Amino acid sequence: MYATPEQFAAANKASVDALFTVATAQFAAFERLSALNFNTTKAAFEDSVSQAKALLSVKDAQEFVNLTAAAAQPSLEKAIAYSRNVYEVATQTQAEVNKLAENQAAEMNKTVVSLMDKLTKNAPAGSDVAVAAVKSAMAAANSAYDSFTKVVKQATDLAEANVTAATATVVKQAGKKKAA
């Protein structure tokens, strides 16, 4: 009935493994974001240099206006692409952490159910009502967790669809202004 040192060691090992998994996911996300930021900064610098050189060769006001207008659309598209990439990294990292949390919750649930089964076998007569109440509470908590997970997934999908639609609208509107 009592936990053995081996059980404590196994539980601690599982906790440490989970912590390392989360840390690894966070470091991977940081690495991807760092590379994205470096590449974006480098590209922006190169674009600025070429834009400055082009501006230095301008001979009249109309050429200046045309050059400035021509640079606006690619800059907007690059900013949108950068935002999408950051969002993608964040979404992937969140999915990895959520999967780990779900696995941990499932493992904890199995442990609690196992413990409840052991308690049921060793429980004194007449305690079956209390055991049934605890099992019912566990089932309700699991059901609530599943419902919450589904709602969060739906909200995330809706937010992602809205961001995609808004981005497409901005790109479309910017393209219309450029053509006009």
Tens digit of pLDDT for each residue in 71-129? 888 888 899 899 989 989 998 998 898 888 888 888 887 877 777 777 777 777 777 77
Least confident segment among 2-11, 24-33, 79-88, 146-155? 2-11
Q: Residue 42: its pLDDT value, please?
A: 97
Reply yes or no on whether the pLDDT at 63 is more than 60: yes
**pLDDT level of residue 12 (50, 70, 90 thresholds):** confident
Q: Residue 1: its pLDDT value, please?
A: 46
Q: What is the mean pLDDT of residues 45-57?
A: 92
Q: Residue 177: its pLDDT value, please?
A: 63
What is the distance between the alpha carbons of residues 31 and 33, in angstroms, rounded to a whole number?
5
What is the distance between the alpha carbons of residues 136 and 159, in angstroms, rounded to a whole number?
34
What is the distance between the alpha carbons of residues 76 and 170, in angstroms, rounded to a whole number?
9
Show me where the domains of the chain are located.
5-179
SS3 125: coil
